[in-house]
Amino acid sequence: MNPALVQGQHALVYNPMLPPGWIEHRTPTGRPYWYNTATGQTSWLFPSPLPPVAPQETQPKKKKKQTKKKIPGTNWLFVLTHDGYEFYYDRDTKTSVWEMPESLKAPMEELKKLDEEKEREKKLKAENEAKLAQKEKEDADNKKRMLEEQEAEQEAKRAKLEQEIAQEDDDDEQEEHAKEEDLEATEMTEEDIMWQLQQMAEAEVEETQAAAAAQATPEAAEQINKEPKKPELSEEECLAQFNQLLAERNISPFAIYSAEYPKLMTDPRFSLVPHNKQKALFNKYCNELGDKIKNEKKNKKKPEDEFKDLLVSKVTQKMYWDDFRRKYKDDPRFKALSVTKEKEALFKDHVKHHLGKKRPTDEYMDLLRDTKDIRPGMRWRDAKKILEKDDRYYLVESKIDREDLFRDYLQDMSK
């Protein structure tokens, strides 16, 4: 119902309880109805108000974790509470103070610089890890795409081969059907056709021998006309030569007997087995060849597994990636994997998880003992320039721990 059509007859009534956009009207009989000016909807029922908007829940703020930091060169700790308050703790006297002692100003400046440097290293490490993760993802995507392309290519080859086999079957059926129509009668089995082909081949051989005998001397003709004696072979030897013939002709596991028969029947080794067993032995050879190829593919190791075998047999605890790559780059197992990054990652994973390595602190202490330039009373800043040239220096991630271990080592040297 549209109030505009009955504007002269219906009265407008103001109602403050109506939701926004609704107007109340009354019919001449006094019955109320309501009209929405925004949607054009008319209703005999009083419009329901809009549901109140639920207030959004606010999550309580998480408290920060309390942190303790050793102040370099002192026995003090700098403590930051979860509420953001700072105080200083003396480990010798077991006392705490809110105000920073005057003697801690310089060490605190050094601590601040160490924190800033650590934060930069952390940020740089995160960026490098992100780049490495992106690179690994790209390598994995490329590898996946290559595998999918290879599988698609193999699938296309397999489909093409099946199509060719099906086409050969159709051609054979059409050829046999044509022969049946030409003969107009007798239905011939496949064995009959093979027998006729064999007879034709034998007749061709006899004609060749007769022609050669006609042109030869009487002695030579007599020698030609002599029936050659077939060697007496066992059944196993006959079967072995039959299979050898199929192998020499590169018979495919998908080969069809009727298609290959004309190519095989002229070879004497094909006739060593009875005619009624030739097809069964041919199919048996194809099935066994197919199973052999399938097992070879199944048992063939993946390139990654071959590379892992090389790692197990050649990698030692003190060997580095560059040494390993230079020494075994010509090994077939090394060449099995084409992506250098993947090889290096597998190498590092093998060294990390499969070879027993010392703890970082032990490696660092070995570095201190191996460095002959370190002497009692030496300053840390001077020793640091020497030590940071060795990879073992970075095994201890904390700069404070590196310095503390260095000072402990100097004390041991002084004893």
Write down the pLDDT at residue 407: 92
Please give the backbone phi and psi of residue 35, each rounded to the nearest 5 degrees, phi first. Answer: -130, 130
Identify the residue with better confidence: 152 or 107: 107
The answer, yes or no, to whether residue 328 has pLDDT greater than 70, is yes
What confidence score (pLDDT) does residue 247 get?
92
37 CB-near residues (< 8 Å, 6+ apart): 21, 22, 23
pLDDT of residue 173: 61
Give the pLDDT confidence of 2-32 residue by residue, as tens digits.
544 444 445 666 677 788 888 888 888 888 8
Whole-model pTM: value is: 0.28
Q: Sheet holding 32-36: strands in order across?
A: 11-13, 22-26, 32-36, 42-43
Band (pLDDT 50/70/90 cuts) for residue 380 is: very high
Burial class (CB within 10 angstroms; exposed 0-12, middle 13-18, buried 19+) of 335: middle
pLDDT above 50 for 228: no
Lowest mean pLDDT among 93-97, 225-229, 393-397: 225-229
Contact 315, 357 (CB under 8 A): no
CA dihedral over 73, 76, 77, 81, signed as positive or negative = negative
Q: Residue 115's CB: how many other CB atoms inside 10 A?
A: 13
Mean pLDDT for 335-350 is 82
Comparison of pLDDT for 195 and 290, the residue scoring more: 290
Of 340, 337, 346, 341, the residue nearest 311 (C-alpha): 346
pLDDT tens digits, residue range 230-245?
557 888 889 898 899 9
The answer to whether the CB of 77 falls within 8 A of the CB of 91 is yes
What is the percent of the chain where pLDDT is above 90?
11
What local confidence, expressed as pLDDT, does residue 220 receive? 47
Nearest alpha-carbon partner for 172 in 151, 194, 150, 152: 194
Average pLDDT of span 370-375 = 90
CA dist 159 and 156 (Å) reads 5
Specify the pLDDT at position 8: 45
More confident residue, 231 or 282: 282
| Residue 79 and residue 68 in contact, taking contact as beta carbons nearer than 8 Å | yes
Q: Is the pLDDT of residue 75 over 60?
A: yes
pLDDT of residue 59: 64
C-beta separation of 347 from 312 below 8 A: no
Say whether pLDDT at 383 is over 60: yes
Between these two residues, 183 and 143, which has the higher pLDDT value?
143
β-bridge mates for residue 89, sequence order: 77, 96
Contact 347, 370 (CB under 8 A): no
Percent of the chain with pLDDT over 70: 72
Read off the pLDDT of each residue in 158-179 and give the average, rounded to a whole number: 64
Question: At residue 171, does pLDDT exceed 90?
Answer: no
Instruction: Report pLDDT for 140.
Output: 87
